[in-house]
Amino acid sequence: YQLPCNIFDKRFINNGSISRLHNNKKEIQIRSIFLQGMILKNQYQLPKKFNKWQVVWNRYDKWLQKNQIKTLEACISFIKNQRNIDKILIGFNNESQFNLFFNQFRLKHKCYNFINFTNDENLLNPSKW
């Protein structure tokens, strides 16, 4: 099963779907760990249509600063600390992006206290952008 999951979008963790699928011996493939790259951008790099979610990015930026963590590390740490995930599907625009991701992914990651940044389906579902 392919499910979206990222530091903003915890719907399938919170509703127990990932645990249920895992308990039923289903392979779980996580996609959209960067929310199509939007989570890696700061609020000033986002397209104007994201202005309505400025409070989400403010909350995220404050959380990053408080935990002294960069966005890429936060996204990867969140996914690596989730149980019951078998694979991660991810796309890259170039080899440099792949190398950056791979180098960060192979590091040991701390388990942070990941807060709930948003439940807004209009942000979490890219088809609604």
What is the pLDDT tens value at each position of the chain, 129 positions in all? Answer: 999 999 999 999 999 999 999 999 999 999 999 999 999 998 889 999 999 999 999 999 999 999 999 999 999 999 999 989 999 999 999 999 999 999 999 988 888 888 999 999 999 999 999
**What CA–CA distance (Å, rounded) separates 55 from 109?**
27
Four-residue CA torsion sign, 8, 9, 11, 14: negative
CA atoms within 13 A on the CB side of 51: 2
pTM for the model: 0.90
Please provide the distance, in angstroms rounded to a whole number, between the alpha carbons at the two ends of the chain: 24
Q: How far is CA 86 from the centre of its chain?
A: 16
Find out whether 126 and 36 touch, Cβ atoms under 8 Å: yes
